[in-house]
A and B are shown apart, each in its own frame.
Chain A
Amino acid sequence: MKIIINDIELECKEGQKVLDVARANGIHLPTLCFNPLNPTARPAGCRLCVVEVLEGGRPGLQSSCTLPATEGLKVSTKSRPVYDQRREVVELLLSEHEQDCRNCFVSGDCVFSELCREYDINGVSVCSECPKRRQGCLLSRGVLCLGPITYANCDAFCTRRGYKCEGCHSVMKNEDLLRFGLAAFAKAEFTRDEILEATRVFSFEGVHVLEKVMTEEGFK
């Protein structure tokens, strides 16, 4: 018996689920089957392993752990609807989760922070945690504080104590968030070179995105 996953023909046996076939062939599908983080803890509960059925079955999104492999079945594990669905699932799971995993940069085998990275779920800037964002904002006092374009989750440790943000959690990689942050710098009259020089201490990838956004926005 054969099924097709992502345009690849794969051998399978009677009784196997699509998830088993994918795993046996090294195709990655995220799951939280026996993970304590999964709040529902029942089959097809986490909905992360969804695939899109293209031919040979009921068309649409179905969880691969419950979808039996049948002759001529054709599925995709990385189509746009699949990606969007998974992203939404992760966001919903996170809303029930105690920690804010979106900005977490602690390395280790944490499923959620991996998923956030994989599905581009972005967090918020240091400003959102900073108690001085309205009165006493360092930027408005002429200090080059990198708060508006730096990932939060540090509880604004430095700015809370009156020190500028050095950007140690790295510059954000999401263009929309950066655009929003750049407006704050424009108001405080900092130049492109000053900002880039300051960000290069702790960031690498983020600086490239920032440069791109600055060029698009005509930031001087």
Chain B
Amino acid sequence: MKEININVEHLTRVEGHGNIVLNAKNGKVEKVMWEVSEAPRLFEAFVRGKPYHQLAQITSRICGICSIGHTLASLKATEAAMDIEISPQSELLRRLAIHGENMQSHILHLGYLISPDLFGTGSVVPLVRTHTDAVLAVVKLHRLSNEFSEVVCGRTTHPTNLIPGGFYKTPSPLKLKEYRQKLLDSVETANLVAGIILDNAGALPDFTRETEFIALTAKDEYALYDGLIGSTDAGTYPVDEYVDVVNEFVVPQSTAKYCKNKREAFMVGALARFNLNYDHLSPLAKQWAKKFGLKPVCHNPFMNNVAQLVEFVHSIEDSVSLIDRLMEDYKDEPRPEITPKAGRGVGVVDVPRGILFHEYVYDKDGYCASANCVIPTNQNHNNIQHDFEAFAPSLLDKPEKEIELNLEMLVRAYDPCISCSTHFLNVEWKR
């Protein structure tokens, strides 16, 4: 029998550094491992001793793609700690911000990182020649999402407009109206891209492993900005109890911590949100889910890609209706004034890659005493490892190249943002 040794050191088309190791002998898997080799980031230590108004600026630098999500989680934690209330208008605008980021991140992942797998090329560059229209459509949508984020947040990456208590400057209503129209016009382009992905969705392997899904849930909306922590296994938890949900622990092969809740692992991300909040999706998003045959609860991690596409369409439609709600009574709000006080606060938002927690403790002058950030990809690592263990044995008959590709696709489906997820090594987890 043949011997298989696969070692993908530094998987490509993901953010950060991760390795795949597979050793098999005589048709049996001896070792299959998802290794995270990224260096620790130490952000939780950076922010200690910093004043409250700098925290969002610093923690947004954890990631270049989810910087808006990190900013919002950070602001929510600060606001919870200091009992700051934000105006309904600011809250709606923040929901727009998160939609902008969701669109930007999802189209980047699907269009540039996943499409090469579907078309069997090594990167998106050869596709420019063969599928010019599709690539241009993706670029158009990506650009629109980025510009939309800039209108709301001041900057596409590392936003400057989002500050504790609301907004530094109320976004211009004229610009918002302009982008409402642009978003409506983009539905057609989104349908085109979705259609092309649907035609090639056969390349996504059919693999199912039952797992737990965790995401934000709310009674009356597709929760991204606010809600309770929901689990497909255990109902809902209050946000403050997030530590008991994620249960972080350290493993030798990874510089990122692993997580688990009711089962051996759980998954967060677009698919988790889809599974938990399907009812609140917009009509067009539901249509596309139906075309792909995606129904809750779906246990195929590869369908995370499709869930992202569905969410992309949902974000367009929901943004349009949010702007309509905003325009009913849009005011130029003054910059919020804040009196710092001591306290502990947890902020949670569902960012493109899953549920994100920030927790801060402040002293009476508003200086950070301690911080904890639990990043979505962090919570997915354990599930990737368990998926590997279940998926690898079924692949052994295939040629080595194909096994490698399938394992890589599995990791990519999670849209991991590895460099975000590595932090704080020397924590001992006790049962």
Q: Which A residues fall within an 8 A CB radius of B? A: 157-158, 161-163, 166, 168, 197-198, 200-201
CB-based contact A161/B57 at 8 Å: no
Say which one of B154-162, B185-193, B406-414 lies at the interface with A. B154-162
A197-B155 contact, Cβ under 8 Å, with A163-B161, A166-B160: no
Contact assessment for A201 and B58 in the assembled complex, using a CB-CB cutoff below 8 Å: yes
Q: Are B169 and A162 in contact (CB under 8 A)?
A: yes
CA distance A197 to B51 in the complex (A): 9
Chain A residues, Cβ within 8 Å of B154:
158, 161, 163
Whether the pair B54, A163 counts as a contact (CB closer than 8 A) is no
B237 within 8 A of A: no
Which one of A158, A168, A200, A201 has the highest number of Cβ atoms from chain B below 10 Å of its Cβ? Answer: A201
Answer yes or no: B292 CB below 8 A from chain A CBs. no
Given contacts A157-B155, A158-B155, contact A163 B57 (CB under 8 A): no
Among A162, A163, A198, the one with the most B-chain Cβ atoms within 10 Å of its Cβ is A163
Task: Name B169's contact: one of A163, A197, A198, A200 (CB within 8 Å).
Answer: A163
Contact status B169-A166, CB under 8 Å: no
- Interface flags for B166-187 (1: CB within 8 Å of A; 0: not) read 0011000000000000000000
Please give the distance in Å from B411's CB to the nearest CB on chain A.
Answer: 27
Interfacial chain B residues near A200, Cβ < 8 Å: 50
CA distance A162 to B155 in the complex (A): 12
Bound state CA distance, A162 and B161, in angstroms?
9
Known: A163-B168, A197-B51, A201-B54. 8 other contacts (CB 8 A): A158-B160, A161-B154, A162-B168, A163-B154, A166-B160, A198-B54, A201-B57, A201-B58
CB distance from B385 to the nearest CB of A (A): 33
CB distance from A21 to the nearest CB of B (A): 40
Contacts of B54 in A (CB 8 A): 198, 201
Q: How far is the CB of A209 from chain B (nearest CB, A)?
A: 21
Q: Residue of B at shortest CB range from A161?
A: B154
Judge whether A166 and B57 touch: CB under 8 Å.
Answer: yes
List 23 interface pairs A-B (beta carbons < 8 Å), by A numbering: A157-B155, A158-B154, A158-B155, A158-B160, A161-B154, A161-B160, A162-B168, A162-B169, A163-B154, A163-B160, A163-B161, A163-B168, A163-B169, A166-B57, A166-B160, A168-B158, A197-B51, A198-B54, A200-B50, A201-B50, A201-B54, A201-B57, A201-B58
CA of A166 to CA of B161, assembled, Å: 12
Contacts of A168 in B (CB 8 A): 158
- Kindly list chain B residues whose C-beta atoms are within 8 Å of the C-beta of A197: 51
B258-299 interface code vs A (CB 8 A; 1 in, 0 out)? 000000000000000000000000000000000000000000
CB distance from B337 to the nearest CB of A (A): 13
Chain B interface, number of residues (Cβ within 8 angstroms):
12
Closest residue of chain A to B51 (Cβ to Cβ) is: A197
CA distance A207 to B71 in the complex (A): 25
Q: For the complex formed, measure the closest distance between the CB of A136 and the CB atoms of chain B, giving whole angstroms.
A: 13
Main secondary structure of the interface of B (DSSP, over half): loop
B-to-A contact residues, CB < 8 Å: 50-51, 54, 57-58, 154-155, 158, 160-161, 168-169
Q: In the assembled complex, which residues on chain B have CB atoms less than 8 Å from the CB atom of A198?
A: 54
Within the complex, the shortest CB–CB distance from B157 to chain A, in Å, comes to 11
10 A-B pairs closest in CB distance: A163-B160, A201-B54, A158-B160, A162-B169, A163-B154, A166-B57, A161-B154, A201-B58, A163-B168, A201-B57
Taken together as a complex, chains A and B put the C-alpha atoms of A157 and B58 apart, in Å, by 18
Interface centre among B154, B160, B161 (most CB of A within 10 A): B160
In whole angstroms, what is the CA distance A22 to B57 when docked?
A: 47
Which residues of chain B are near A161, meaning CB under 8 Å?
Answer: 154, 160
List chain B residues, Cβ under 8 A from A201: 50, 54, 57-58
Report the minimal beta-carbon distance from A207 to chain B, rounded to whole angstroms.
Answer: 14
Instruction: State A163–B159 Cα separation when bound (angstroms).
Output: 10
Closest B residue to A168 by beta carbon equals B158
With both chains docked as a complex, state the minimum distance between the C-beta of B321 and any C-beta of chain A, in angstroms.
Answer: 27
Considering only CB atoms, which chain A residue lies closest to B161 in the complex?
A163
In the docked arrangement, what's the CA distance between A28 and B51, Å?
Answer: 45
Residues of A within 8 A of B51 (CB): 197
**C-alpha spacing A161/B151, complex, angstroms:** 10
Docked pose: A163 CA to B51 CA in angstroms? 19
Least CB distance from B147 to A in Å reads 13
Q: How far is the CA of A168 from the CA of B58 in the complex (A)?
A: 10
**Bound form: Cα–Cα A197–B58 in Å:** 13
Q: How far is the CB of B289 from chain A (nearest CB, A)?
A: 38
Rounded to whole angstroms, the CA-CA distance of A174 and B158 in the bound complex is 27
Q: Can you name the residue of chain B whose Cβ is closest to the Cβ of A201? A: B54
Residues of A within 8 A of B158 (CB): 168
Question: Closest residue to B335 on the A side, CB-wise?
Answer: A143
Measured CA separation A157–B154 after assembly (Å): 10
Q: With A and B bound together, what is the CA distance between A157 and B158 in angstroms?
A: 12
Give A162's nearest chain B residue, CB to CB.
Answer: B169
> For the complex, what is the distance from the CA of A90 to the CA of B161, rounded to whole Å?
39
Closest to A198 in B: B54
Q: Give the distance in Å from the alpha carbon of A168 to the alpha carbon of B67 in the complex.
A: 15
- Alpha-carbon separation in the docked complex, A157 to B155 (Å): 9
A197 to B54, CA, bound (A): 10
Shortest distance between the CB of B352 and any CB in chain A (Å): 23
> How far does the alpha carbon of A161 sit from the alpha carbon of B150 in the complex, in Å?
11
Chain A neighbourhood of B58, CB < 8 A:
201
**Once the chains are docked, how many angstroms separate the CA of A162 from the CA of B168?**
9
Q: Whole-angstrom distance between the alpha carbons of A162 and B170 in the complex?
A: 11
Bound: A200/B168 CA distance, A: 21
With both chains docked as a complex, state the minimum distance between the C-beta of B63 and any C-beta of chain A, in angstroms.
15
> Chain A residues with Cβ under 8 A from B161's Cβ?
163
Query: B48 to chain A: closest CB distance in Å?
Result: 12
User: Residues of A contacting B169 with CB < 8 Å?
Assistant: 162-163
**A181 to B421 Cα, complex, angstroms:** 39
